[in-house]
Structure 1
Amino acid sequence: MTELAARFPTSTRLRVSHAFHSQRMEPMLAEFGRVAEGLSYAEPAVPVVSSVTGAVATAGELRTGAYWVRQAREAVRFRDGIEALRAAGVTRFVEVGPDGVLTALARECLAGAPEPAVLTPMLHRDRPEPDTVLAALAQLHVTGADADWEGVFAGRPARRVALPTYPFQSRRYWLRARGGDVSGAGLDPAGHPLLGAAITLAGTEGTVLTGQLSVHQQPWLADHALAGVPTLPGTALLELALRAGAQVGCGRVEELTLHQPVRLPAGGAVQAQVTVEAADPTGGRAIGVYTRPADADRDEPWARHATGTARPLTGEPGTDLAQWPPAGARLIPLDGLYPELAAAGLDYGPAFQALGSAWQRGEEIFAEVRLPDGATGPGDRYTLHPIALDAATHALTRSDGGGTGQVPFSWTGVEPYGTGTPPARVRFTPTGADRWAVTVADAAGAPVASIDTVVFRPVAPVSAVAPLYRVAWQRIPTGGGAAPVAAELLEVTGGLDPATVRAAGLRALHAVQDWLARPG
């Protein structure tokens, strides 16, 4: 059994004294039965579905020691029990236990049910208990269940606000929290780790979200480098677009194309702006992501890094990945993966080395992500966690036909399901050359997001990032007949306007300053 378990990297040894529901229980059954017969039993106050029979227990069935002997020895008829509950009209399933394992199993049992069911765990081993319990209660409430909110908020400063008791998408009902440093400037807090404030532009339906990015404020960004330069991952640009779209009720990123990377200075920061324009006749809103150095002059132009379109969520149900590891898939070896990627120009530090396991089944690739504790702050403030989604793509470099040294170039049809849960299981299905459809789920297999297409492109060499410049050595004579001296000049080729030349010079200056500021 130990050798068999070693073939499954995600297997866990059960911390129990006996192998329950198996023949190894038989030596203790006689003594267990004597103890069980000596106990006093009461009829349950609510109906109970027996895991021994898979049906609702009859009167007196649970009040004998013999029943509990069968319960310890016989197989667990979990699927039959779930189907019995469904047949009885149960539409909400709440797991009361230390984790969400049974929720995932129940979801798989109900996969073919004609009507959707609500399934939620009250606890999760990777999340704070108060947050998980409150999230479960809220999920039940918005699907029509009664909740004792006075009991929840007893002794706390709270007041009743009229809200719908059903899930909603495009129109915002929640009151916006105001406060902090931005409210005095007429801005709304953005409520996001990478964006600090948002403002709706007067006279238009446009919105701008702003933030500041640096390896000092977000240390995890230093662990994502292209050719040795800290660079914002493409998944973070997608996250910025998702958050900006959600700000105006357009939580689906219909398409997003990346134009140039966001390179982060070693000793400074960059300002970021995400713009959302007014809706076009079809309901789409144009999105743009821009940056410039934090210490830039007022008239320095902004660099455009990504453009796309956001639309309201479709509301279509997501696909789960409850069966894990995927049946019939072969394990992909990951030994030496990150040195191999570094040799291709993709330097991933500890925060981004989050790919735990990977599998291949036909042309499909499956990735399991394990986020480092506290890598980027609270995970539930991200729509799609940038590290988790980026780390999942590393599995593609070891797949049949995969390419080393590729990064996301464009995204289409990105639909989050509003869980705020870090992705843990990801499935890639090829749709063409360097194109993949993506299914994203949490650690229990519940849907987190779906992506129609991600297109990958090879990492551009450093020389290709700024083709307008070249280094040349010239001798410049000094006044008074002094001997000429050698000087390194950065020449600009081609006919460019003065503003572009000035911006290029400032970027070159910042690059030199950052290089000089590095230790050693």
Structure 2
Amino acid sequence: MFAEVALGEEQRAEAGRFGLHPALFDAALHMAGVGPEDEEPGPARLPFAWTGVSLYATGATELRVRLSPSGAEGISVLLADTDGVPVASVDALVGRPVAAEQLTASSQLTKDSLFTVEWDRVPTEGMQGAASQVQWAMVGSDDLGLTATLEAAGQDVVSGPELATLAGSPDVVLVTCASESDSGAQDLPSATRHLAHRALRVVREWLGEERFAGSRLVVVTRGAVAAV
């Protein structure tokens, strides 16, 4: 089977972000479900096993597609640009049949997910006296102004550029992981990776220091999840 597929105008500008734009690749694979008009329709098939996947060029916005049988149940895929230059190929793609009821059941399960976000209100009774006994520490830059807030509440806060530079074992150690602007990166994906790597590095160092066994590490962020 031969076909031609192309990205919509609104998607062409972002084609360079991908090795092969997922919408373009998806459109090419949809042709595998097209058959003769007199052919009895069967159950939907979802991609299951991929063999011999190769990418030869990036940034394509239009493709010429060739699909042909591969083995008893698979198809081979050859994708080329409008000049016939190869873009990508798949030696064999095998699909597994799935009933419509299975797809419906899957969507229902996601609505009853075990993963939820809950905000618990912390009781304030009796906390003022306990707070005066807390030893606070700030690691790295204080992007959110936490030190000033704590000091205004009468708390003493020590600080250090890294966990290793902190003296003793503070009760609470604060680390900010606030936004892409705090990371110094120029774009959101790079900023996200930078902040995630920073948080991971701090957690690894924390777990490797036995003197923090009785302390609490608090990673403070903003704008991550709306508190509703």
Q: Please indicate the TM-score interval, normalised by the length of the shorter structure.
A: 0.3 to 0.5
Higher RCO (CA-CA < 8 Å; seq separation 6+): 2
TM-score (norm 1): 0.19
- Higher share in helix: 2
